[in-house]
Structure 1
């Protein structure tokens, strides 16, 4: 099952639960944007509050949620174990991909991301609405661990034995610039493949890009961009790869060894 769908396919989905997860890194909540217009019937989820756990000294800036907390959020949105779920954001697929990944990790199977986000929907001439839905209570059971996840120890071992890929911008990988975390650099042994070069409109190019890295695991700053890369790999028809979900923010919070420059 390909995880990305276009607006016309999303509009034709019968009985799908739609989730608006528009989000701005380090910015204000997007509740006002949701109230101003969202896909018909879409429930609102906040990435920081609802999809991720609270940031702490270990786990990074966007750690995994507690299963019980995520289950309550998904049930409140009307989701059952067999529900088809459509997730969308503004179109950069950062929040949508992390939500897709989290729901798949939680055991849901029929989860899709709207290619192009809200703009693709409106560009297709499809309507928005402003009223919030009143869904019935769902009965989903969260089953964590349904996608492969690495912690810091796993990531270090992966970099030693296989291929660990850092998907942040090259200057962040090299340690020349770090806007979010207190230490710049990368996990020793990791290589760099910038997520900004992914073209989600061209599945063939995605496959050409990621087929040579089919056995890799991925990380980023806090597990959001790496989830986006996992979406790209899956959309290319390859197995969903392992993700170091705590990523760089977790790595440096533990005071682990840091590498800078290019790996040789």
Structure 2
């Protein structure tokens, strides 16, 4: 399993060169992540908000978290001192749910891929980290890529399905089966999709499972020639995409609008 995409809390305590990004967020309370950041964060960390920085405004279709404009994203990263070759470490406190979104976006831009903090903010605190408070100074650098790659829209999804791709639903099993739907107006899943819940990539402490356990998580889907990954809105699917990258697969495609886009067309 690749060891260059994860960093342990003990190693982060000694890190001096990377730009650190706090990605904490709550779908139930969109302001919670910013409040938590102001209350306490890893020293030197910048805060990037899922809604404001890592997504674009919601439209009638396209899902609940449309991909950000790549130029605006590159400019926002530049304000944090992040350019195409910058070493970055990202963290959250929800089992990589939002840090992985930043990881995928930076990879999609062609930037150096961030390392994600294994175990998240809690692991850092348990390792003896002392939080800082307030904003930090910014130092803008030059921007990089101006386009995003590695994703598809609804038309691209249909084309890939016609070619026989394996479509993966990353949501919880009950949502996949249509037994409950707490967010979107329609329950169920895209016909033909198999279910590999994103939460199964980590343990209860938010630590990534072993290579063997990740291979069990993916099962036969790991052997598929073409993989398309979706979730509710294109965010937590990135946890599954991150786990695939750990296993050496960088080719799977994100259906960016995910279920929230697909069901809006019914």
TM-score (norm 1): 0.89
SS of the equivalent of 1:164 reads strand
SS of the equivalent of 2:51 reads helix
Q: Which residue in 2 is equivalent to 1:229?
A: 240
SS of the equivalent of 1:138 reads coil
| CA distance in structure 1 between the aligned counterparts of 2:94 and 2:179, rounded to whole angstroms | 28
- Contact residue 230 and residue 240 of structure 1 kept, 8 A: no
Q: Which residue in 2 is equivalent to 1:139?
A: 142
RMSD: 1.8
Over 3 Å counting, the alpha-carbon distance change for 1:81 and 1:254 in structure 2 is same
1:32, distance to aligned residue in structure 2 (A): 1.8
- Contact residue 51 and residue 65 of structure 1 kept, 8 A: yes
Q: Which residue in 1 is equivalent to 2:171?
A: 168
Question: Given the alignment, which residue of 208, 214, 220 partners 1:206?
Answer: 214
5+ unaligned residues in a row in structure 2: which ranges?
A: 203-207
| CA distance in structure 2 between the aligned counterparts of 1:73 and 1:50, rounded to whole angstroms | 7
Over 3 Å counting, the alpha-carbon distance change for 1:81 and 1:197 in structure 2 is closer
1:91, distance to aligned residue in structure 2 (A): 4.0
| CA distance in structure 2 between the aligned counterparts of 1:11 and 1:143, rounded to whole angstroms | 33
Q: Which residue in 1 is equivalent to 2:199?
A: 196
1:168, distance to aligned residue in structure 2 (A): 1.1
| 1:25-44 matches, cutoff 5 A | 25-29=27-31, 30-44=33-47
5+ unaligned residues in a row in structure 1: which ranges?
A: 256-264
- Contact residue 90 and residue 118 of structure 1 kept, 8 A: yes
1:240, distance to aligned residue in structure 2 (A): 4.8
Q: Which residue in 1 is equivalent to 2:205?
A: none
Over 3 Å counting, the alpha-carbon distance change for 1:81 and 1:168 in structure 2 is same
| Cα offsets for 1:31-58 (capped at 9, x unmatched) | 2211111111001111111011111112
1:23, distance to aligned residue in structure 2 (A): 0.3
